[in-house]
Amino acid sequence: MLSLPTQDDLANEVNVGCATSPLRLESKHQHTSRCSLRVDSERSERSTTGPDDSPYMQEPRRKDVASEVPRYLTKMDKFVIRGGNPLVGTVRVSGAKNAALPAMAAAILTEEPVILEAIPDVRDIQTERKLLESMGAEVELGYGRAHHRTSICCRNLSSPEAKYELVKTMRASTLVLGPLLARMGVARVSLPGGCAIGARPIDLHIKGLEKMGAQITQEHGYLEAKTDRLRGAHIVFEKITVTGTEDLLMAATLADGETVMENCAREPEVADLASLLNKMGARIEGAGTSTIRVKGVEKLGGAKHRIIPDRIEAGTFVVAGAITGGDLIVAGCEPTHMSGLLSKLQESGVKIRTSEDSVRVQADGNLVGADVVTEEHPGFPTDMQAQYMALATQAEGTSIVTENIFENRFMHAQELVRMGANIKIEGRRAIVRGKTQLSAAAVLASDLRASASLVLAALVADGETIIDRVYHIDRGYERIEEKLRGVGAQMKRIGEMLPKKSGQLTGATA
Ligand code: UD1
């Protein structure tokens, strides 16, 4: 599916400038949040291990660049990457986007402020901020101060609605459905529609909420839901769904009576959400296992919570170390959340050493192919499949990559082939034959994780790769070019101003 940004999507991007020749323009990261920021007295709270220790925290705040883009222009960023450098040193991981998004939605459940630390500075978070603000919430994204501390207050929710303009750019916007129904008894949420990596229905969210007593109708592309009060129910998910589990979990916290959910997602992000909800006064047991029990309460209150490290960002860096034959420490992560990936990399000949909060990856260029099947947690994550495929192109022998979660998640393969990879797609299987010398090319990012795989391929390609449409990667990776440059990658962001076209489309992806 064609997936271009709207002017609104691009407003948050950085480094406004005219088309520039590669490797001349310095990347300038500027903060774009329009929220007022608190004073920096919290800076001294920096820990030595967490994402807040990042040197990026020390940068001056960005000024809002949106107003600098003339209305008749859109801005398209690209990455220019010159391959060949092994990555050496320490790279730090940010807070998990996929844990931060439900945590922000959880703030809807209470009138009191919810303080979240380690919220990553990525575009999906900006979208969630816009979504919550459009409902009447007060959101302060506190980038630039210690812990990336963010506060959300949903005291006055005047408009319990998630509009299409926001849901279409980020499917996780549907996470507000459960909390709105539970707190307000009413919700109007746009259907997400298709996206770049498959159909991605939300039927299981709807069925679960109906079982809890919600009346849900569909009109003009919107779900209209209402209830006097949700009631506890016994819900067995037909299929494991991460945001589905999170949506119903939030709804159940304020339901009348006990909810038992079976065949739940066991992802660490679900357990992190439950931990926040319990701090808010919820009574949840079993999150992180396949059966979750929730005793509904009358009211939830405010809380302070630190978001878990991003296991997918960490995994991407681990693969970056491995593919470049580097010696990289990925710091501030949670290795126990990455077992599916790490054991597969060891099978491929990568030396992995873990500590409580870091992974050291060492590789000498002698990788061997290994088959991968994507599964729900704790199996190999679908969000690491594209990055693993880039690695497999550099491994001796054949690797068969089977995608079991999403039906259309091989779009990166054709771009990798353009760079010289030998990949054949057969339905849900990709057969990767290595080792092939990759050569730099102009390539197109098609979704968030596909973009990451192209970055990884470019790090070992011969010459300068130009990756177009990096707004996809900005949805989920915090300043990836700065982080990778810090450990030796030759990588720049360049901005290009283009005439604005009407009717541009934007795809929602993982
Ligand atoms: C979440 C993650 C995404 C990750 C995915 C799978 C967030 C914000 N996103 O997405 O990065 O790739 O988990 O690990 O956390 N399904 C249905 N009906 C539903 C819901 C899902 O059939 O109502 C199907 C989907 O089409 C898919 C599978 O279930 O085939 C898993 O999807 P799901 O776990 O819901 O993915 P997301 O929660 O959207």
The domain ranges of the chain are 65-94+310-499, 111-306
The reply to whether ligand 1 has any atom less than 6 angstroms from the CB of 385 is: no
Question: Which residue has the CA at smallest separation from atom 20 of ligand 1?
Answer: 202
DSSP bridge partners of 256: 231
DSSP string, 300-344: ---EEEEPPB-HHHHHHHHHHHHHTT-EEEEES--GGGGHHHHHH
Whether 65-94+310-499 and 111-306 share one fold: the answer is yes
> In the prediction, which pLDDT does 197 show?
58
Going residue by residue through the chain, which has 510 residues, state the pLDDT in tens, using 9 for 90 and above.
333 344 333 333 222 222 223 333 232 333 333 233 232 333 333 232 223 333 322 333 344 334 455 666 666 899 999 999 999 999 999 999 999 999 999 999 999 999 999 999 999 999 999 999 999 999 998 877 667 889 999 999 999 999 998 888 888 889 999 999 999 999 999 988 655 656 678 999 999 999 999 999 999 989 999 999 999 999 999 999 999 999 999 999 999 999 999 999 999 999 999 999 999 999 999 999 999 999 999 999 999 999 999 999 999 999 999 999 999 999 999 999 999 999 999 999 999 999 999 999 999 889 999 999 999 999 999 999 999 999 999 999 999 999 999 988 999 999 999 999 999 999 999 999 999 999 999 999 889 999 999 999 999 999 999 999 999 999 999 999 999 999 999 999 998 666 665 544 334 445
Which is the closest atom of ligand 1 to the Cα of 377? 14
CA dihedral 339, 453, 174, 376 (to 10 degrees): -30
Q: How far is the CA of 105 from the centre of ligand 1 (A)?
A: 17
Are 236 and 204 a contacting pair, CB within 8 Å?
no
| pTM for the full predicted model | 0.86
From ligand 1's centre to the CA of 66, what distance in Å?
Answer: 32
Any atom of ligand 1 within 6 Å of the Cβ of 204: yes
| 102 CA → ligand 1 middle, Å | 13
Q: Is any atom of ligand 1 closer than 6 Å to the C-beta of 223?
A: no
464-468: strand order across its sheet: 442-444, 464-468, 73-82, 490-499
**265 contacts 238 by C-beta, under 8 angstroms:** no
Q: Which residues contact 427 (CB under 8 A, 6 or more apart)?
A: none
Instruction: Please tell me if the CB atom of residue 383 comes closer than 6 angstroms to any atom of ligand 1.
Output: yes
Hey, whose CA ends up nearest to atom 26 of ligand 1? 200
397 CA distance to ligand 1 middle (Å): 32
Atom of ligand 1 nearest to the CA of 203: 23
Burial level of 108, CB count in 10 A (0-12/13-18/19+)? buried
For residue 172, the CA-to-ligand 1 centroid distance in Å is: 9
For ligand 1, atom 25, which residue shows the shortest CA distance? 200
Q: What is the whole-number distance in angstroms between the Cα of residue 488 and the centre of ligand 1?
A: 35
**Amino acid symbol at 391:** L
Supply the residue whose CA is at minimum distance from atom 32 of ligand 1: 241
The answer to whether residues 135 and 175 touch, using CB atoms and an 8 Å cutoff, is: no
**203 close to ligand 1 (CB < 6 Angstrom):** yes
Going by alpha carbons, the residue nearest to atom 9 of ligand 1 is 510
CATH class of 111-306: alpha beta
pLDDT of residue 142: 81
Protein residue with least CA distance to atom 29, ligand 1: 241
Angstrom distance (rounded) from CA 316 to CA 492? 18
Q: What is the pLDDT of residue 408?
A: 83
Buried b (16+ CB within 10 A) or exposed e, 240-252: bbbbbbbbbbbbb
CA dihedral angle for residue 308, residue 149, residue 75, residue 3, rounded to 10 degrees = 30
Instruction: Say how many Å lie between the CA of residue 234 and the centre of ligand 1.
Output: 21
Instruction: Give, using CA atoms, the residue closest to atom 13 of ligand 1.
Output: 242
201 CB near ligand 1 (under 6 Å): yes
Which of 264, 405, 449, 477 is the best mutation target for the ligand 1 pocket, counting ligand atoms within 8 Å of the beta carbon and taking the most? 405
From the CA of 175, give the closest atom in ligand 1: 8
Only one residue has tokens 């710091």, namely: 331
- Give the catalytic positions in this structure: 195
pLDDT given at position 196: 62
> Is the Cβ atom of 510 under 6 angstroms away from ligand 1?
yes
Nearest to 475 by CA among 79, 56, 125, 14: 125
CA of 241 to the centre of ligand 1 (A): 5
Please state the CATH superfamily assignment of the domain spanning residues 65-94+310-499 in this structure. Answer: Enolpyruvate transferase domain (3.65.10.10)
Question: 325 alpha carbon to ligand 1 midpoint, in Å?
Answer: 33
Nearest-CA residue for ligand 1 atom 3 is 510
Q: Is 410 in the pocket of ligand 1 (CB under 6 A)?
A: no
Q: What share of the chain is helix, strand, coil (3-state, %, to 5)?
A: 35, 25, 40
Q: What are phi and psi of 359, to 5 degrees?
A: -130, 130
Contact 287, 270 (CB under 8 A): yes
Residue of 170, 239, 311 best suited for mutating to test ligand 1, as the one with most atoms within 8 Å of CB:
239
